[in-house]
C-alpha cells in the first residue's frame, strides 16, 4: 500500500484526472440502464466520426501496444519501459479475457432492438457474449498508465489519459460495448499498469541493491 501511495503521489494530476473520469462516467450507470446510457451516449453519427473512432479504437488493440514497445526499444533504448509495456499488455489482456469468460455478457447489438437504435456499423459492431469488460479499453488504460508513470513531463500523462478515454468512448460509439464495460476496462487496465510498474521496479531495485552489496563485500 505504501508503494502504491508513493507511485500515485508522484503523478497526482494523472490519477486525480482518472478518478474524476471514473466518477463522471459512473453517474449515468447509477440512474440509467446500460441500454439507455448506451443510446444517450450515441446521439450523433457521421461518416467522419465513424472514421475517427475506428482509428482511435485501434490504439486499444494489442498489436498497437506491441508496436509501441518496439518503437520505444528502437528509438529510445528504454528497456525497462519496453518490458513494462509488454507485460502490462499481456496481463491486462489475460485478465480481461478471463472476466469475459466468467460474465459472458452480451454485446449491445445482441440485446438492443434495431428499431430502438439504428447506428450499428456493418462489419464493426459485433455480437456475442464477451462484452464485459472492454478489452480495448483495458489495454488502452494499461498502456496510458505505464507511459504516464515513465514520462518525465507529467503533462504527458494527461495526454495519454485523454487518448485512453477516447478509446473507451470509441468502443461505445462503434456499438461494441456498454458504459459499464468501459468503466471496468479502465479500472482493470489502470490497476494492471500500477501493479506492473510497482512490482517490477521494486524487484529491480532489490536485485540492484543485492548486486551492489555483493560487490562491496568483495
Q: Copy the grid coordinates of residue 173.
A: 460509439
User: Is the full-model pTM beyond 0.75?
Assistant: yes
Per-residue pLDDT of the chain (218 residues; tens, 9 = 90+): 557 888 888 889 999 999 999 999 999 999 999 999 999 999 999 999 999 999 999 999 999 999 999 999 999 899 989 999 999 999 999 999 999 999 999 999 999 998 899 999 988 888 889 999 999 999 999 999 999 999 989 999 999 999 999 999 999 999 999 999 999 999 999 999 999 998 877 655 555 444 333 334 44
Give the Cα separation of 191 and 158 in Å (integer).
17
pLDDT reported for residue 204: 53
Instruction: State the CB neighbour count (10 A cutoff) for residue 142.
Output: 35
Q: Is 51 left (phi over 0), alpha (psi -120 to 50) or beta?
A: alpha
End-to-end CA distance of the chain: 35
Closest CA relative to residue 88, chosen from 190, 191, 196, 184: 196
- Catalogue the E-assigned strands of 17-74: none
Burial of residue 33 (number of CB atoms within 10 Å: 0-12, 13-18, 19+): exposed
Closest CA relative to residue 161, chosen from 22, 38, 6: 22
Our CA angle for 92, 159, 88, nearest 5°, is: 15
Instruction: State the CB neighbour count (10 A cutoff) for residue 77.
Output: 9
Three-state SS at 143? helix
CATH class of 45-205: mainly alpha
- Cα 10 to Cα 41, 153, 157, 194, 198, distances in angstroms: 34, 11, 12, 12, 12
Contact 45, 119 (CB under 8 A): yes
Amino acid at each position: 500500500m505504501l508503494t502504491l501511495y508513493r507511485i500515485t503521489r508522484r503523478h497526482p494530476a494523472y490519477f486525480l484526472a482518472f478518478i474524476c473520469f471514473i466518477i463522471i462516467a459512473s453517474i449515468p450507470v447509477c440512474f440509467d440502464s446500460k441500454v439507455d446510457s448506451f443510446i444517450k451516449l450515441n446521439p450523433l453519427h457521421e461518416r467522419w466520426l465513424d472514421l475517427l473512432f475506428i482509428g482511435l479504437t485501434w490504439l486499444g488493440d494489442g498489436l498497437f501496444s506491441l508496436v509501441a514497445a518496439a518503437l520505444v526499444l528502437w528509438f529510445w533504448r528504454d528497456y525497462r519501459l519496453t518490458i513494462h509495456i509488454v507485460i502490462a499488455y499481456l496481463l491486462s489482456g489475460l485478465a480481461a479475457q478471463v472476466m469475459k469468460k466468467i460474465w459472458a455478457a452480451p454485446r449491445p447489438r445482441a440485446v438492443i432492438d434495431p428499431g430502438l437504435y439504428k447506428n450499428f456499423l456493418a462489419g464493426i459492431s459485433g455480437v456475442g457474449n464477451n462484452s464485459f469488460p472492454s478489452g480495448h479499453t483495458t489495454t488502452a488504460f494499461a498502456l496510458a498508465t505505464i507511459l504516464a508513470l515513465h514520462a518525465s513531463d507529467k503533462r504527458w500523462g494527461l495526454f495519454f489519459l485523454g487518448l485512453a478515454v477516447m478509446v473507451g468512448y470509441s468502443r461505445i460509439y462503434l456499438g461494441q460495448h456498454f458504459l459499464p464495460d468501459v468503466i471496468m476496462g479502465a479500472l482493470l487496465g489502470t490497476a494492471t499498469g500500477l501493479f506492473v510498474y510497482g512490482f517490477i521496479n521494486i524487484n529491480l531495485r532489490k536485485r540492484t541493491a543485492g548486486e551492489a552489496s555483493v560487490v562491496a563485500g568483495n
